[in-house]
Structure 1
Amino acid sequence: MIHGVLFDLEGVLYTGGHPLPGAREALLSLRAAGIPARFVTNSTRLTRGAIINRLARMGLEVSPQHLFTPAVAARNYLIARKLTPHLLVHADVQGEFADLLGGPPGAVLLGDAGKAFGYEALNECFRLLLDGLPLLSMGSNRYFRENGQLSLDIGPFMAALEYAAEMEAVVLGKPSSEFFLAAVNSLNLPPQDVAMVGDDAEMDVCGALAAGLHGVLVRTGKYRPGDEAKVMPHGGRIFDDLDAVIDYIL
């Protein structure tokens, strides 16, 4: 039995600023059945408030405390360890860490920096890593869908720094088990009673399965033919749309 659900956002509930067919109905159906939902995203270009506002404009009501983002996870990680970050993140989320800046950096924090991923910026991070700073990455996604096309995400840049500095990054978003379990714990449910619904076979579904959750891949968003082979051997389920997903859960 599934008693709680985690949803990815972009590509699952909406795309291009418009809700996907069945998105509103899916959330209403779960609510009516008494099944709580949480929302987990690897987006590091928007603040949590901006994401909440975007969802509201599409008629998708989500409480801030029910939305889990890598920026929040990164803040908690830095604060708990009293680390000052050196930031290579998108300009729109730099303010999330403004109060943590000042003094010598104690860690390199990587986000989806978009056009800021230039040689000089990456080389500065590389040199800091050689000086002994740890590399923190707000995700490891290979790509995302933008304007109907796939674009490089944070993962390739993280991998480049890992390779150059001969070290392994601490991943603070999906597919980190800690990230999934933070959302699961807010439901007061064991992982085996919770399903993760996503469009990314590796980050969403395989990551959730590794954390002990049910994994559900929906053929929308960044789904690509052949992704079934990545999730089915590990017990993942695949559905064409949210209507079929909700039928399965209920």
Structure 2
Amino acid sequence: MIKAVFFDLSGVLFEGNTVIPGAVETINRLENDGLVLRFVTNTARKTRKRLLEDLALMGFNILPEQLFTAPVAAKNWCLKHELKPYCLVHPDIKSEFADIHTDSGNAVVLGDAAQGLNYDNLDKAFNILINGGHLIAIGDNRYFDSQGQLHLDAGPFVKALEYAAGVSATVTGKPSSAFFQEVIATTPFQPEEILMVGDDVYGDIQGARHSGMEGWLVKTGKYRSGDELALSFPVHTGNDVRDVIRQRLPML
């Protein structure tokens, strides 16, 4: 029996600044019915605080303790391992790393830095890594959707640095099992009692499966026709988040 539901944000609950029809009502109904909800995102262009503010403006009543972001996970990983990273991240999330020293460059934190992912910055990151630095990837998503247009995400740049420096990145966001297990641990339930809803067949659905959860793919956001055929196991789909819940939890 499903007792908790994890949701990706962008592409699942909203696209840009537009709420996906039925998303607010679906979240409210699940909470009213007593399910435990968590929200997990690799979004690397907004701070956790800004995300919560934007969600509230869109009508979502999401508490801070329900929201888990990959940039915060990256910062916590650096603190735990006493690293002082060069942060190649988007300017809008620099403040997430304000409480760690980033001057010695014994590691690289790489995220969706947009125009910051230029040759000079990537070359600086490469030289830190080739001299023994650790590579921490906020996520390894291949691409993201913005206003109906696909754009390169951080994943391809993570792979480039891994290849050039001969290192393996520690991924602190989705699809990392460690990230999912951290969120699972905030609930009293086993992985098989949790449903993950996302629009990324690799980051959300494959990641959930590897963590023992059940994943459902929405046909909104970055979804492209045929994504559900990309994995080695059957993938359940719904037209949108409301349709997924209607299919999977019809008794609610």
1:63-142 to 2 correspondence within 5 Å? Answer: 63-142=63-142
Distance of 2:89 and 2:170 partners within structure 1: 16
1:184 equivalent to 2:210? Answer no
Counterpart in the other structure of 2:44: 44
1:211-250 to 2 correspondence within 5 Å? Answer: 211-231=211-231, 233-247=232-246, 248-249=248-249, 250=252
Counterpart in the other structure of 1:143: 143
Counting matched residue pairs gives 249
Over the residues paired in the alignment, what is the CA RMSD in angstroms?
Answer: 1.1
Q: Which shifted more, 182-191 or 127-136?
A: 182-191
Counterpart in the other structure of 1:5: 5
Write out per-residue CA displacement over residues 93-119 of structure 1, whole angstroms, 9 at most, x where no aligned residue: 111112212542221110110011110
SS, match of residue 44 in structure 1: coil
Letter in 2 for 1:124: K
Distance of 2:5 and 2:226 partners within structure 1: 25
Counterpart in the other structure of 1:23: 23
1:208 equivalent to 2:211? Answer no
User: Which structure carries more helix by proportion?
Assistant: 1
Counterpart in the other structure of 1:165: 165
Deviation at 1:63, TM superposition (A): 0.7
Letter in 1 for 2:119: Y
Write out per-residue CA displacement over residues 148-181 of structure 1, whole angstroms, 9 at most, x where no aligned residue: 1000000011111011111111100000001111
**Do the aligned partners of 1:219 and 1:240 also contact (CA within 8 Å) in 2?**
yes
Distance of 1:38 and 1:230 partners within structure 2: 26
Distance of 1:40 and 1:99 partners within structure 2: 22
SS, match of residue 98 in structure 2: helix
**Do the aligned partners of 2:162 and 2:168 also contact (CA within 8 Å) in 1?**
yes
Q: Matched residues, percent identical?
A: 45
Q: Which shifted more, 99-108 or 185-194?
A: 99-108
SS, match of residue 151 in structure 2: strand
Deviation at 1:61, TM superposition (A): 1.3
With normalisation by structure 2, the TM-score equals: 0.96
Distance of 2:199 and 2:115 partners within structure 1: 25
Distance of 1:134 and 1:27 partners within structure 2: 38
Q: Which runs of 5+ in 1 are unaligned?
A: none
Letter in 2 for 1:4: A
Q: Which runs of 5+ in 2 are unaligned?
A: none
Distance of 1:103 and 1:204 partners within structure 2: 34
